Every structure is written in structure tokens, then in C-alpha cells.
């Protein structure tokens, strides 16, 4: 009898531990970790490219605040979109529609993290970076998530700007001011966002159509969407070359950006000629690699030739 009781208690302890791990993982998924990784990478690049220096501990706090702020925005986005997420194949396994996290808990979690990220950035880094982080969170939550996403096919063009602010925040964390160069980093992501997102919308067309979200392919059709993707990409590639012309980066970056820019244009052109949209997913996947490489080339070029802006 005693052995059975001990075995039962041991089993209950293991179950509680397993349940706790799942709960932590569910809350972590609310933060959209894959998106957060790209946000952090671009923010680090902005910080490294910025002129001047910043103590290492301030640099770490700044990146953590940007990451937490981005994650908080994601959690609030999932709370608001819970009504449509349950019907979309891409999102129905998220913690809220899957029943793993209560909507109110997700909202409170997101709001608390958002407030903490802004306050800590204000106290430990500077008010300019804190203000820009606050603006970014509010822009994504209210302008994009609650208004634009469900009201216009231009939702991602205007609302997607929220994802372009992190490198600027990293830059401002170091300098305390806004500069043309930081605006250039913003513009790269701003122009990249439409072709990247519309590629996703093309092969997930039925998801958006089912829930009534007016993504470009749903409203204007596949061909016109692909034409606009190509136009944005043709605008994007010359902009990515500007850092080399203004002395922000060197030959290594310029050559790399030019080469992968040609590949991005090729993907969009091939997609335009693709009648059944089979090339949409490869284009989407390449777009992720493209943005990563653009900022990786910027980072490598900067680190290879100049001292780091973070001091010990």
C-alpha cells in the first residue's frame, strides 16, 4: 500500500512538472519566437552600425527590451486575432485557439511585458529609444492589428512598418537621436515586407479568404499581387545598395546585397510567370533568407573594418 502511494505521488509530481513545462512553452509561443529572432537580429545590426559607443550592459538591456516589446506585441496580436486564428490552418495551433492559454491571460501577459520593456528601456538606456519602442508597440497593436489588418488590402504596406522600427531602436539606443542612415535600415525592411507577406498570402490564400481578411491576393487576385510584389522588389534592391554609396558600408556588403537582390528579383519574376502559384512558397522562404543576409552582410562588413560600438 505504501509503495503504491509513493508511486502515485511520484507520478503526480512528474505530471505536474510536465504540465508546468508545457505551460511555459505555451506562453513562450505567444511571443512569436521566430519573428522575435529576426527582430533581435536587425536591432543588433542597427546598434552595431550606429556611430558612438554604448556600455555592454546597456546594449544587452536594449536588445532584451526590444525582444520583449516585440514578443508582447505578438501576444496582444494573438489575443485580438483569436476569433480568426481558430479557422486558419496556419494559426489554429497557436496557444489560444488550441485552448492552452486563456485569452485574458494572454492579454495581461502581453500588456505587462510591453509596459516593462518600455519602462526599463527608459530607465536604463534613454528616453528616445524608449519612446520609439512604445510607438512601435502601439503602432503594431492598434494601427495594424486592430484596424488595418481587417479593413484594407494595403494592411501590410502601412502596418508592416512596425516591423521596420527595430534597427532604428537599436541605433537610437546608441546615439540617442535619429539619423538618415537609421531611416535607411527602416526603409529596407519597409519595402521588403509587402513581397514577403504577399508571397505567404498567395500560398495561404484560402486561409485569409475563409476568415475575411482582405489580403492582396484575396482582393485583387493572384496576378496583380505578383505584379506589385515585383514592383516592390525592384524598388527594394536599389535601396539596399545605398549604404555602400553613403559610406555606411563597404564593398563586401554592396556586392553581397547586389547578388542576392538579383536572386530576389528572379524569384518574383518566376512567380509572376507561374500560373498556379507553386513558386509562392519558395519565394516566401527565400525572402526570409534575403532579409537575414542583407543584415548579416551589413553586420559582417561593419565588424570586419571598424571597432565595435559596445564598450566594456
Q: What secondary structure does DSSP assign to 213-257, as a single string?
A: ---HHHHH-HHHHHHHHHHHHHHHHHHHHHHHHTTSS-HHHHHHH
Instruction: Give 311's Cβ-side CA count (13 Å radius).
Output: 6
305 burial level (CB within 10 Å; 0-12, 13-18, 19+): exposed
170 in Cβ contact with 45 (< 8 Å):
yes
pLDDT at 268: 97
pLDDT at 171: 96
Kind plus residue range of the DSSP H or E element containing 268: helix 251-273
pLDDT at 57: 94
In a domain, 11, yes or no: no
Domain membership of residue 194 as a residue range: 24-311
CA distance 171 to 49: 7
Q: Looking at the 3D structure of the chain, how many domains does it have?
A: 1
pLDDT along the chain (312 residues), means of 10: 50 51 86 93 95 92 97 97 94 94 96 98 97 97 96 92 96 92 95 97 94 95 96 98 91 95 98 92 97 96 67 48
In a domain, 16, yes or no: no
In a domain, 2, yes or no: no
CA distance 148 to 64: 28
In a domain, 14, yes or no: no
pLDDT at 9: 46
Contacts of 26 (CB under 8 A, 6+ apart): 95, 100, 101
In a domain, 4, yes or no: no
Overall pTM > 0.85: yes
198 in Cβ contact with 160 (< 8 Å):
no
In a domain, 6, yes or no: no
3-state class (DSSP) for residue 87: coil
CA distance 98 to 82: 10
pLDDT at 17: 52
CATH of the domain at 255: 1.10.600
In a domain, 30, yes or no: yes
Amino acid at each position: 500500500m505504501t509503495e503504491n502511494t509513493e508511486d502515485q505521488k511520484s507520478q503526480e509530481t512528474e505530471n505536474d512538472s510536465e504540465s508546468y513545462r508545457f505551460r511555459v512553452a505555451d506562453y513562450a509561443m505567444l511571443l512569436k519566437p521566430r519573428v522575435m529572432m529576426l527582430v533581435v537580429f536587425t536591432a543588433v545590426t542597427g546598434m552595431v552600425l550606429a556611430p558612438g559607443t554604448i556600455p555592454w550592459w546597456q546594449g544587452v538591456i536594449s536588445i532584451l527590451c526590444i525582444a520583449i516589446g516585440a514578443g508582447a506585441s505578438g501576444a496582444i496580436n494573438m489575443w485580438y486575432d483569436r476569433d480568426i486564428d481558430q479557422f486558419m490552418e496556419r494559426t489554429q495551433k497557436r496557444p489560444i485557439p488550441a485552448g492552452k492559454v486563456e485569452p485574458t491571460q494572454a492579454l495581461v501577459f502581453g500588456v505587462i511585458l510591453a509596459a516593462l520593456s518600455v519602462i526599463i528601456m527608459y530607465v536604463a538606456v534613454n528616453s528616445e529609444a524608449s519612446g520609439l519602442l512604445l510607438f512601435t508597440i502601439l503602432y503594431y497593436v492598434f494601427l495594424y492589428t486592430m484596424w488595418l489588418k481587417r479593413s484594407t488590402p494595403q494592411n501590410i504596406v502601412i502596418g508592416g512598418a512596425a516591423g521596420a522600427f527595430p534597427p532604428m531602436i537599436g541605433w537610437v539606443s546608441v546615439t540617442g537621436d535619429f539619423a538618415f542612415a537609421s531611416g535607411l535600415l527602416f526603409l529596407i525592411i519597409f519595402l521588403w515586407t509587402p513581397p514577403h507577406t504577399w508571397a505567404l498570402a498567395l500560398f495561404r490564400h484560402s486561409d485569409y479568404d475563409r476568415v475575411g481578411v482582405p489580403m492582396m491576393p484575396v482582393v485583387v487576385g493572384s496576378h496583380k499581387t505578383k505584379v506589385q510584389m515585383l514592383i516592390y522588389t525592384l524598388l527594394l534592391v536599389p535601396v539596399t545598395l545605398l549604404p555602400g554609396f553613403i559610406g555606411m558600408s563597404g564593398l563586401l556588403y554592396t556586392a553581397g546585397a547586389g547578388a542576392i537582390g538579383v536572386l530576389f528579383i528572379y524569384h518574383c519574376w518566376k512567380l509572376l510567370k507561374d500560373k498556379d502559384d507553386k513558386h509562392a512558397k519558395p519565394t516566401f522562404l527565400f525572402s526570409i533568407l534575403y532579409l537575414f543576409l542583407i543584415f548579416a552582410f551589413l553586420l559582417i562588413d561593419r565588424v570586419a573594418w571598424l571597432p565595435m560600438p559596445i564598450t566594456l
